[in-house]
Structure formats: C-alpha cells, structure tokens
Structure 1
Amino acid sequence: MRSNAQKDTMCDGKVIPIFGITNSLGAAAKIPAKILYCNEGDSMVLNTKSISQGEHHTIHLHGLDVDTRNDGDPATSFWLSHMQDTTYSFKAKNAGTYLYHCHAADVIHVQMGMYGMIVVRAAGGAKTAWTGGPSFDKDYKWLMSEVDSVWHYHVPVHDTIADTVHVPKYVPNYFLINGKCGSEILNDDSIKIKGAQGEKILMRLANIGYLTNRIIFPSWLGARIIDSDGRPLPNAIVNDTCYIMPGERFSVMLQPTIQATANVAVEYLDMNTGNITLTNQVPVNINGVIGIKEEQLQEQLFSVYPNPGSDLITIKSSVQINSSLQCKVYNTLGQLVLEKNIRSGETIDVSLLPSGLYNIIIYSSEVKSQSCKLIKVAR
C-alpha cells in the first residue's frame, strides 16, 4: 500500500499524484490495483506492507465473508502505519465479484486510487457464474470509478488523532472503466466487447466511484442480470439497463441474438440530481455464429446424443465405467431441474423440460466429473 510520491497518467496525457496498492514492493502504483483471482473454496492470504509516509492504511475485503480481524475497518480492527506489515486472510465461500480497498480515511484514499477488484471463480475454476450456475464462454471485468484531479493535487488531510478529514466539493473530471477513459476505452481489448451470435458473455460489473452508474445494453444482446453482490438472484432479471450504486457489483449474462456492431452506454449519474455527468461509449462487435454441434460435445469421457434433443437423450462414456453415473441437469439460471442415476449408454427423459440450453454435470466414483451442454428443442 503506497502513498509515497506515486503518479499515474490520465487519458489526456496529464500526470496526477495517486496512492495505490501494488503486487510487489518495487512496483509502481496504477489506478486501479490489479485484479485478484481465486476459486470458490480457496483459502487466501494477502501479505501487506504500508509504505505511507505518515498516512494510515488498511485492506478492506468488500463483500467477502470475513471475520472482524480481517475486515480492514480500523474502527473494529486496526490500521497500519508507515512500514508496518500484516496479513489478511479469508476463505472464498461464494463465487462472485468483489472489491478490495483502503478503509482508513476511505473517502480520500479510495479517490486517490487504493482499490481493485477480486474475482472468485466457481469451484475448480469452472467457467460458470457460480458453482452449478450458468456457464459462459468468456467474461469481461468492468470496474467503474471517477477522478477529481483537484483532490489529487491538493490531497485532503486526514487528522488521525481526531479521525476527521475536510472533504472538498467533488467535481470529477475523469470517468474511468478499469482506469481508462476517453479514447483509451475504444482501444482496450479488455473493455470493448467482441463475440459471436449465440455466445454467452458474462459481464462482471462493479462501481467503486462516488456517482451512480447506469449501464445500457443494446436489446439484441439479451442482457439478464443474474447475481448481485456475489449472490445469485432467485430469478434472473431480463433488462437492458443495470443501475450500479457505489460499492455494488452485478453479473450480467449476454447472449447476442444477431450479428451487429453498436455501443454499450456507461453513464455516470449525480446521486443527488440523477443528471448524467458523462457517458462512456463502449464498442460491441458481434461477428459470426457460435453453434453447439454434437461432435463438439464428444469430450474425453462422456457424450450426449442426440443433441439437440427433444425427449430421450443418451449419455455414454468413452471408457469402461462399472459404477452408476449421477446426472444433474441445470438450466441457465443455475437451477437444478432434473437428477437421475443411470448406467453408461442409458437414456434420460428430458421431454418435460422447456426448450433451451442446459448444463449436465455427470458424476462418477471412478472418474472426474464432467460438464456437457444440451440443447433441448420442442418435439
């Protein structure tokens, strides 16, 4: 955690002083800090040192289930002075999108750049939104924030004795996605959306700024809000617009229905008036068609056929398996809709399932579990 003469360059070429969180003692700070990754069920340890030149710092694990000692709130745990170090630890109990940031004089230190995103993947690193949840083909991580450069040139002073700070009027002049603004967004492959018709694209959206974000997707992207603050929603919300208040996180699943190019509007709204302060336009390019063919599903151990299927489907292993197979069928919301124990080569009746895309998890005591996709069609 650094607040000693760090600098970052904005999209107009201006250099501003910043604080930051780096992944090594010798690294220079950037806005935002690097994304931290782990899998559901992992135990994580963050080795932390404060190089602060008089400032106090902590690491707050925003949204994660941690105990008081590891929460990073100085009112209930502790803060670090210059050159002090500690460890923060937690077990990643729920897959989802989270934040980490300094919680000492947080209004100032977050604005100065001491924040980043934490992505907890599904157990085993599976490409599903959560363990047993809807699968995706690719994901994007967008962390929205703003910069008021006046605060950076004239950093408000934190009185650590009285624990008070004079906060000036907030007038941001840079509006960021992953630390990028303006034309940088148009040229950043980690931000602009590329895909194919029918491809499932998971958007991990988070707001660490002081304005409200309104994300407006083109209708043909088929946006569905599937989780909030690291927890699955009971039912997906089909909506082209997603509002994100400061500190909130949402996952939105996209599945383009056509091939087209357009923009996603990322608006920054004044929380008092609701007026739009600025809009970033993020390019979307959907080109080509993704289809699921039966031969694509013939993976190493199990195959599902016919696929697409309407009533009876067969699950067969490519190696000899003597034990029974436990088959669990999930819909795109991650809901378990069918479960059956069978032998290799036996059938499952899916005739009562609505048409759509399903994820079949096949378990066996003899081999590693495997996920297969099924397209269910009407008779």
Structure 2
Amino acid sequence: MKVLVTGGIGYIGSHTCIAMIEAGIEPIILDNLSNSKLAVLDRIETLTSIRPVFYQGDVRDQDKLDLIFSEHEISSVIHFAGLKSVGESVAKPLEYFDNNVNGSLVLARSMRKAGVKSIVFSSSATVYGDPKVVPISENSPTGATTNPYGRSKYIVEQCFSDLFAAEPLWSITLLRYFNPVGAHPSGLIGEDPQGMPNNLMPFIAQVAVGRRDFLAVFGDDYDTVDGTGVRDYIHVMDVAAGHIAALKIVGEKAGLHIYNLGTGQGRSVLEMLDAFSLACGKTLPYQILPRRAGDIAQCWASTEKAQQELDWHATRTLNEMAADTWNWQSKNPQGYSDC
C-alpha cells in the first residue's frame, strides 16, 4: 500500500512515516522543506532501515503532484503540508489561506484527476474556536474560529465536506489534533521549529537546553486552574498511531469521517513546565507576559468516538511526553542543525 504524505518530513509527518513503515505501509513523501530538514530522511532510514521515496516540492504545484501520481500507484493521501502557527497567522493571514486552503484544493484536484479518492486530512482543534463546553466532542459547534490558522483549517474541512457531498465515493477523514508534543523515544527525530518556537513544548525545551533565557507565558489571568492556558497535550507517537488506525479502518470506506485526536485531559502551561522541569532535573525560568491575540482559555478533547470506531486511544503519559522531548532536545541542542 503506497500513501502520498504531504509535509512528510515535518514534525508530525516524520513520526507518522515511521509508524507507517512499521505497519507495512509505504510512504511517498512530498515536502517543500519550509519547516523541515533533509536530515530527517537519514534518520527515518536509520530507525526503519528503509529510505522513503522523497520529492521536494510544494503542495500547490499541480504539475509536481500529477507527476507523483503518474509514477506511483498511490491508494491514499495523508495531507500534513501547511503553515501552523496561530500567532504568525494573525500577522500573515493571506499566506496562511494561500498555503493551507489553496494547497488543499490543488491537491484534491490532482487526486481526482488520478482517481485517488481517499484522504486523511491534518485538521486541528482550532476549528472549534473558543468552546463553551469542555470536553469537546466531534459534534461540538465549529466555525467560530479565533485566528486565521484555525479559519484556514475550518475552510479546508468545509471544502472537503462539500466535495464528499458532491462525490460520495470519496473517503475523507478529518483528524482534529489537539496539541501534539514529544518526540520519538530514540531521540533521533523530534520537533525542530525554524526561528522562534510558536508552540509551548519546543519553547520549554529550548529554555532547558540553554537556547532561550526563559519561557514566555502569555497570560496568567484566564479562568483556569492556575490562570494559564489549558490545552490537551498528546504525544506525537499517539498522533501517528491515530493516522495508521484511520488508514486501516476507514481509509477505504466511502464517507466523511471525523475524529478528535487528544488524551481527554487538559493541562495548564505551568503544569507542562513542571513536568519538563522534572524530566530535565532543573527548575526552568519563566516570565508572565500579556495574552496573545487569538489564544483561548482552555480546550480538551472528548475521545470516545475514536476509541469506539478506530479502536484508538492515547497511551503515553505526560511524563513520557516531557521525557521524550528532553531526550530529543538534549541529544540535538540545535535541532537538525547539529547534523
């Protein structure tokens, strides 16, 4: 079984490619290297003894996509490629809509041309906006997004939903991630953001390894357990396992399939900081700063649907998330630049 993986050497994509190879699925990777490094391919090969087929290119390049579909008998697509920073999206909304929405439409057109009608889309819990009730189920209201990143994911979901309504032979799976963290337990691959980290865990890791002076905590006046934002953090290897389950169980079934990928438990920023301090064996400095535009107070997932229909649930603990992140960062202080 060959599966095209867009953004396949990025953070979540690379971990999923390893899980795919271990499950006997052959990934064909397309990545434009805007937020990833070629060294990831070497490390995937080290871990699996298989070097995936790789194409360097942009998901908005229809000619490149058509070439890939013509050269391989691809049965499904996992679509990770996209910009992913909430804060950056507020400053660069047009870039986010062009990359995330337009890129998805170009991909869908190329898939239809090739007769490939199975896709697993990397969506996000941001489509739920600022939830009135937690935990959030797949039936919770969507669309009241608070930032352009979330809106781009919501728009793509609507595009795919409309595509299925018009062409019901498609199998379209929308996986709404909450907050992936952690790294492969080997420490060979992990999250390596370009420039200033936009997500919590890599920022903490860079403080721990000495690349940053302190953790910036944006807001301590939310109505949460300690005033800091609360999120559902899930180990990236559990997220990868969710994609394998989706491919195997609903990837060949016509339908619009929607699942949350989370742990079902919310953790505050300071709770995550404490867990990481325990993992690295030292107290980490932080400073309270004003809230960021587009942030919400809290969200965490209801995971019952994925458990029932995909036979999937997150298994890794908060301590494992912190320990695996520290194992990656301590072995690779400068990320893949150490290669």
Same fold (TM over 0.5): no
Q: Which has the higher contact order (CA 8 A, sep 6+)?
A: 2
TM-score, length-normalised on structure 1?
0.23
Return the structure number with greater strand share: 1
Q: Which has the higher helix share?
A: 2
